[in-house]
Chains A and B, each alone.
Chain A
Amino acid sequence: MMDFLQRLGATTLGVTERIGRGHLFLLYVLGGFPSLLPRFGLVIKQIYASGVLSLLIIAVSGLFVGMVLALQGYNTLVDFGATESLGVVVALSLVRELGPVMGALLFAGRAGSALTAEIGLMKATEQLSAMEMMAVNPLHRVVAPRLLGGIIAMPLLAAIFSAVGIVGGYLVAVGLLGVDEGAFWSQMQAKVDLFDDVASGVIKSVVFGFVVTWIALFEGYDAVPTSEGVSRATTRTVVHASLAVLGLNFILTALMFGDD
């Protein structure tokens, strides 16, 4: 019994300490943001690495998700004779939920894991130490541009996911299932609200981009500097970031749409 309590205490302390370190890490990194303004090229490079290089998986996934949404939505709506609303169903599902959430999950798997491995290996090969000895703060020079890059790239990726998904839904709905093209677009235009729907999706994706990139960077920076340590950290990034996205999505959805 004592053993169990001791282990429980040690684990709780360990987790609390790590959360504390994660937040201190974030504070130091945010302190580096002002110095990025005159050197925005560093951020652009990271937007390319996290964003542009994730484009393919985001676009292909978006297309298939949109197509499946149209198929499933049609099956339900056809019973009520409301297949003209298929465009709305597809667009709202994507813009409010699936774009930001699926986008962030894919982002965690593609860009998050890469960030953790990169930073972890930089630590293992003493590149971060070498920077410190060259009087360059790696949190400002290496980590801060990656965090800002992730925060900027994620909403763009989510928007692309949703846009490609809507095209996929259109192809299936109009091309395959014979839904009226005019109704598909006009209902979507009438029912999807810029502020209630699109803006809330954008806010979600900014939050997700921030959280996923933060977790990925912290895991890399905090990794045990061995090959095993880096591989564990990479796995933790994907698991923790995915859980964080799903948990936060519930909270954000409750806040944004809970009073409807």
Chain B
Amino acid sequence: MNKSRYFKPGDLIIYGALLVIFVTGTLIAAGGLGEEGAVAVITQDGREIRRINLGQVDESYEFRVENAEGQYNIIRVEPGRIRVTEASCPDKVDVKQGWISSAHQSIVCLPNRLVIRIEADAPEAEDGIDGIAF
């Protein structure tokens, strides 16, 4: 067995490509981190059903989202962060993922086709509206 069994010159192409993807992806993601006024956008079947400005949440609360088939997710909102606490989907990937708080992070529940995504910009804030009560 020679030493370079698990390393050939062409490997650098593959590792290099992954490194480029890693660095550019990190830069894109980091661009959205730490910004004020993160807005959680909740979509179901591709339609936006709710928009929560996490920077303006004073008290934590929970609500339930149900789709046409009766499948549900219970979403918990706390100041600056959001998570799924309970879901009817079999794998519970969304529940296990826990809290998300910074821009571009997302929680996806594929069986229920529910997506919670955090956007960096807060259009409400730019328009001069202090907040929206639901």
A binds B: no
